[in-house]
Amino acid sequence: MRTRALVKRIIRQFIRDKRTLAMMFLAPLLILTLVNLVFSGNDYDPEIAVISSQEQMASQLEKADKSFTIYENKTLAAEDLENEKLDAILEINPPTTKITLEGSNPTANKAVMMTVEKTLKSLTPKNNQQTSMETEVTYLHGSADMESFDYIGPFLIGFFIFFFVFLIAGVSFLRERTTGTLERLLATPMRRWEMVAGYVLGFGIFTIIQSAIIVSFSIYVLDIMMAGSIWFVILITLMLAVTALSLGTLLSAFAKNELQMIQFIPLVVVPQVFFSGLFNIETMADWLQPLSYLMPLTYGGQAIRDVMIQGGGWPEIYDEVLVLAGFSLLFMILNVLALKKHRKL
Amino acid sequence: MTSVIDVFDVSKNYGSQHVLENISLNVKRNEIYGLLGPSGAGKTTLVKMIAGIETPTNGRIKVLDTDMPNLHNMTRIGFMAQSDALYVELSGKENLEFFASIYGLKGQKQKERIEHAASLVNLTDYLKRPVHQYSGGMKRRLSLAAALLHEPEILILDEPTVGIDPVLRQSIWNELYKLSDAGTTILVTTHVMDEAEKCGQLGMLRDGRLIASGSPQQLKESTASATIEDAFLYYGGVRNEN
């Protein structure tokens, strides 16, 4: 009952504060769009040579997508690939499929792989076992280890949700203290856990909306690679937001004003960027690596990637989701304890 | 008359700083008890401990025969803090609805209580406005209304009339008398000497010590003072000589 009153109040306050709403919902979209522009530019139309012993297959491919061109001669194709007139050569000689990528442009590589995969899938009847046909990928230049927006995008979605929710929730809870309303609430029979629960639920409603907007925008507008289910991504980002929410309200207990709350960003938020997997953790010093296990974003980022890039489902992400739930619960309990500083009961 | 607030030998330290030293007082039912003292005397700390927000370093505090802090007791106490603890984005009505819900008031009862409390402080016409458009005095009155919503047996008011114009201050005091007649016990802090005269009982607080207590009349007579201010100076001076 008391928690519900708190939830209702938070919703009303939020709706009045249009600018904060905009920061929560629109700022991540703006930044994601910028990063997307920086990393991927326009949609890339690959040029792919098709060399096949099966003429019917080759012409089907050519018809299916304008990227494909039939080459009779392998030497000529290799020459065009070297001169960057082609992005890849696709050789289909059942039972093997061989793709040779030019390889220096990650965007082109990705475009080739997606076009080939999509086209082959559409050409192969669903009940045909040939889908399991082995594909061998070789690179003329470069390698498969590359970064592009598809790779960092899932991580950035998690990061921006974490960052903005952490900041807004932290400052709101802090303001409750600096304006004296926390003390006023403590003079009521409201229990400390009811207060923490009220905050998590009240803000939680807005983080659901935020997650849905950011994830949908990334997938449908920025056209980020999405192999799995959008619902799983929303679930993970929501868990990540709740973690950020509980951490932000907890840490606000240790800040005296808004400026001190902002000082937590380099201490708490920025390290997560370095240790949570956006940068390669395996190449860091051994003693630094375990730090990544302490970062909520490690689990969130990994889980979002599992779904968006690898098409993972519940079996792949449940452990990360549980760890995030654990983090949230821990922060909430600590917050209930931290409020003891203000009232013993 | 029974005692509803009992403070036994209470001290409060923040680190090495002694804010209150060996305070004992009691407040009887229906009484209007005034805590008089300059700012920094420890009035706010004392009323916060009585309201259950702070805990004493030493000594104990009983409210309605129960040791504080006690969550059940908090439903029987109305507290108005020194700073206006209001949500400025919300309207006056929404603020009152929030506090009413916390005290478990709902539906028709909630509506009636909000209307009643708002009319007591003359804010009925302004309830729909967001609080950030309120003047300082209006905010004080809204805070007072929020403390009255759940019909508390004990009302604790920390400097309730600061920044309120004399006419309205008079009407608030009339309201306090009415509440007191109806059975509410009122503990009020003030640093305004003439306001202290309106209280039934007074406690004079200076540098964390209770230097005198009694009715305004008693305090003036026993020090042969014409005003409360003279009496305060007298007691404060005695302490300085010691």
Question: Residues B208-230: pLDDT tens digits?
Answer: 888 878 787 877 777 777 777 77
Residue B88 has pLDDT above 50, yes or no: yes
Assigned domain for B171 exists? yes
For residue A184, the chain B residue with the least C-alpha distance is B85
Question: Residues B41-57: pLDDT tens digits?
Answer: 788 888 888 888 888 88
CB contact A168 to B (< 8 Å): no
Question: B212 and B182, same structural domain?
Answer: yes
Given B107, B132, B151, which residue is the final one in a domain?
A: B151
pLDDT of residue B238: 52
More confident residue, B236 or A334: A334
List the 170-209 stretch of A: residues with Cβ below 8 A of B: 179-181, 183-191
Question: B165 and B144, same structural domain?
Answer: no
pLDDT of residue A143: 53
Q: Which of A4, A184, A189 minimises the CB distance to B81?
A: A184
Is A237 in contact with A320 (CB distance < 8 Å)? no
pLDDT of residue A129: 47
Closest by Cα among A10, A41, A305 to A159: A305
Residue B240 has pLDDT above 50, yes or no: no
Q: Angle A321-A324-A327 (CA atoms, 0-180°, nearest 5)?
A: 155
pLDDT of residue A329: 92
Assigned domain for B190 exists? yes
Assigned domain for B219 exists? yes
Question: Between the CA of residue B161 and those of A180, B58, B84, B154, B171, what are the distances in Å?
Answer: 18, 31, 12, 18, 11
Q: A-chain residues within 8 Å CB-CB of B75?
A: 188-189
pLDDT of residue A53: 78
pLDDT of residue A177: 83
CATH of residue B219's domain is: 3.40.50.300
Q: Which domain holds residue B119?
A: 86-151
pLDDT of residue B29: 85
The total number of residues shown for chain A amounts to 345
Domain boundaries, chain A: 48-139, 148-341
Question: B209 and B113, same structural domain?
Answer: no
Residue B242 has pLDDT above 60, yes or no: no
Residues of B with CB under 8 A from a CB of A: 48, 51-55, 69-72, 74-75, 77, 79, 81-90, 94, 97-99, 101-104, 130, 146
pLDDT of residue A282: 64
How many structural domains compose chain B? 2
Q: Which of B54, B98, B106, B159 to mutate to test the interface with A (most CBs of A within 10 A)?
A: B98
Spatial separation of the C-alpha atoms in residues A242 and A249, rounded to whole Å: 11
pLDDT of residue A137: 79
**Which fold, A48-139?**
abc type-2 transporter like fold (3.40.1710)
CB contact A141 to B (< 8 Å): no
Neighbours of B179 (CB within 10 A): 20
Question: B172 and B111, same structural domain?
Answer: no
Question: B135 and B108, same structural domain?
Answer: yes
pLDDT of residue A280: 64
pLDDT of residue A283: 66
Spatial separation of the C-alpha atoms in residues A146 and A337, rounded to whole Å: 45
Q: Which of A16, A183, A345 minimises the CB distance to B71?
A: A345
Given B125, B151, B177, which residue is the final one in a domain?
A: B151
Assigned domain for B50 exists? yes
Spatial separation of the C-alpha atoms in residues A238 and B35, rounded to whole Å: 51
Mean of the per-residue pLDDT values of chain B: 82
pLDDT of residue B218: 77
Q: B-chain residues within 8 Å CB-CB of A16?
A: 89-90, 130
User: How many CB pairs (< 8 A) connect A and B?
Assistant: 82
ipTM comes to 0.78
**Residue spans of beta strands (DSSP E) within A7-95:** 48-52, 68-70, 88-93
Q: Which of A180, A190, A344 minimises the CB distance to B83?
A: A180
Question: B164 and B53, same structural domain?
Answer: yes
> What is the identity of the amino acid at A273?
V
Question: Between the CA of residue A340 and those of A163, A207, A329, A345, what are the distances in Å?
Answer: 27, 27, 17, 7
B163: left (phi over 0), alpha (psi -120 to 50) or beta: left
Spatial separation of the C-alpha atoms in residues B89 and B230, rounded to whole Å: 44
Residue B93 has pLDDT above 50, yes or no: yes
Asked whether the beta carbons of residue B104 and residue A8 sit closer than 8 angstroms, the reply is no
pLDDT of residue A43: 64
Assigned domain for B93 exists? yes
Given B151, B183, B208, which residue is the final one in a domain?
A: B151
Distance from A174 to chain B by nearest Cα, in Å?
13
Q: Which of A2, A343, A345 minimises the CB distance to B102?
A: A2
pLDDT of residue B1: 58
**From first to last of its 345 residues, what are the pLDDT tens digits of chain A?**
788 888 888 888 888 888 877 877 888 888 778 777 766 655 677 888 888 877 787 888 888 888 888 888 888 888 888 777 888 888 887 777 888 887 666 667 778 888 888 787 777 765 554 555 567 777 776 555 444 667 777 888 888 888 888 888 888 888 888 888 888 888 888 888 888 888 888 888 888 888 888 888 888 887 777 777 888 888 888 899 899 989 998 888 888 888 888 888 888 888 888 776 666 666 667 777 777 788 888 888 888 888 877 777 788 788 888 999 999 999 999 988 888 877 766
Asked whether the beta carbons of residue B94 and residue A187 sit closer than 8 angstroms, the reply is no
Asked whether the beta carbons of residue B99 and residue A188 sit closer than 8 angstroms, the reply is yes
More confident residue, B86 or B234: B86
Assigned domain for B81 exists? no
Asked whether the beta carbons of residue A16 and residue B90 sit closer than 8 angstroms, the reply is yes
Question: B204 and B173, same structural domain?
Answer: yes
